Amino acid sequence: MAKTILITGGAGFIGSNFVRLMLGKYPDYNIINLDKLTYAGNLENLKDIQSHKNYRFVQGDICDAQLIDGLMQDVDWVVNFAAETHVDRSVDDPFVFTLTNVIGTHTLLEYARRHRVKGFIQIGTDEVYGSVETGSSVETDILDPRSPYSSSKAAGDLLALSYHTTFGMDVRVTRCTNNYGPYQFPEKLIPFFVTNALEDRELPIYGDGRNVRDWLYVEDHCDAIDFILHHGRAGDIYNIGGGQEMENIQITDIILKELKKPETLKKYVKDRPGHDRRYSLDISKMLKLGWKPRHTFDAAIKETIQWYIVNEQWWRNIKDGKREFKDFKDRWYKER
């Protein structure tokens, strides 16, 4: 079906895993990876496939209308991963979230429309449903985003869906739970705690540590997007999750136990403002369609921890080498 796919944000965590999946699975697809290479983008994530004959990397911003106009001429499908993604940073510096997640998404949609691109997948998050004290969110629930990150992602979702309703464009929106796995920027909970523990540094736990998230191995997320690309329907929304809800403190204990590190590394810190208590997704729509996660949390978290042990240089280059990492983390936790 699809021939040339524009993948945005393909130098980030999930995007790079998705680029690798597409190139390996579909030898006749051409992949254009458009990424601005913000602090979170990293070409090291794609080293093994950078010279693949069906792959082209373009450094650029999804807000750059002229660039997007030019790129869309050759494109059949767009999969939009590009985003500002760290909730803490959206508390610290919210405006860039609106620029990329709203204006950037809108720019992609508009030029995809003008060039009659066949389809557009907007990669979204479960955080748009807001904190769910009981039960689980279904695709038709009212959105209740509460952070600048989730609000900007909700705006992107709604713009995308409006392009289906108004212009008849084939737009599909995904909403996924927390991912973990190889190449995740080490500011996010699991790689941050794994690498801190490896360095015998403290693991800063927000509030009482009892916030609940559902966790999905990144390869399962990429499989789900592939499934939606090939079997989804125009205008539909798809919840994607692992069915592995856990409190942050449980994740912390699993990491410490796996690495044989002491409990004394746990440090409770002042909670993040507006910290949602629980996200929970009902994924029965995807299960009915025939997708299901292939990895269990128990096995995949071990594999993930092992990956960070083996690939120490990868995360050291970020933690020790990228000023944007250290400056932000040092300041953020000093305030807590």
Ligand X SMILES: NC(=O)c1ccc[n+]([C@@H]2O[C@H](COP(=O)([O-])OP(=O)(O)OC[C@H]3O[C@@H](n4cnc5c(N)ncnc54)[C@H](O)[C@@H]3O)[C@@H](O)[C@H]2O)c1
Q: Is 127 a catalytic residue?
A: yes
Among residues 186, 187, 191, which one has the least CA distance to residue 306? 191
Contact with ligand X (CB under 6 A) among 19, 35, 128, 328: 35
Q: Which of 35, 61, 84, 126 is catalytic?
A: 126
In the chain, the amino acid numbered 310 is V
330: buried, middle or exposed (CB in 10 Å: 19+, 13-18, 0-12)? exposed
4, β-bridge pairs = 30
If the CB atoms of residues 179 and 195 are measured against ligand X, the closer one turns out to be 179
The two tokens of residue 153 are 């992602």
Dihedral sign for Cα 265, 267, 273, 274, please: positive
Number of residues that bind ligand X (CB under 6 A): 30
Give the distance from CA 186 to its chain's centroid: 13
| 13 interacts with ligand X by CB under 6 A | yes
Q: Which residue of 97, 129, 185, 328 would you call a contact of ligand X, by CB under 6 A? A: 185
Q: Contact at 8 Å (CB) between 199 and 259?
A: no
Judged by beta carbon, residue 11 or residue 109, the one nearer ligand X is: 11
- The amino acid that residue 293 corresponds to is P
Q: Going residue by residue from 101 to 120, which x/- string records binding to ligand X, judged by CB under 6 A?
A: ---x----------------
- Measure CA of the first residue to CA of the last residue in the chain; give whole Å: 51
Q: Are strands 212-217 and 245-247 parallel, antiparallel or unpaired?
A: antiparallel
Residue 9 is a binding residue for ligand X (CB under 6 A): yes
Q: Which of 22, 23, 63, 203 binds ligand X (CB under 6 A)?
A: 63
Binding status of residue 85 toward ligand X by CB under 6 A: yes
Q: Is 11 in the site for ligand X (CB under 6 A)?
A: yes
> Which of 123, 154, 229, 283 is close enough to bind ligand X by CB under 6 A?
123
Q: In the bound complex, what is the minimum distance in angstroms from residue 28's beta carbon to ligand X?
A: 25
CA distances from 163 to 40, 63, 103, 120, 124 (A): 28, 17, 14, 10, 16
Which residues on neighbouring strands pair with residue 173, listed in sequence order?
Answer: 122, 237
CA distance 68 to 109: 10
> Is 84 in the active site?
no
Using CB under 6 A as the binding rule, the residues of this chain from 279 to 298 that contact ligand X are none
**CB 96 to ligand X: min, Å:** 8
Residue with the CB atom nearest ligand X in the bound state: 12
Between CA 89 and CA 94 the distance in angstroms is 7
Active-site residue 149, yes or no?
A: yes
Token pair, residue 128, equals 């748009």
Give min distance, CB of 240 to ligand X, in A.
Answer: 8
**Which residue among the candidates 129, 149, 183, 279 is catalytic per the annotation?**
149
Choose one: 66-74, 77-85, 193-201, 241-249; the region binding ligand X (CB under 6 A). Answer: 77-85
Residue 176 near ligand X by CB under 6 A: yes
The catalytic residue positions are 126-127, 149
Residues in touch with ligand X (CB under 6 A): 8-9, 11-15, 35-38, 40-41, 61-63, 81-85, 100, 104, 123, 125, 153, 176, 178-179, 185
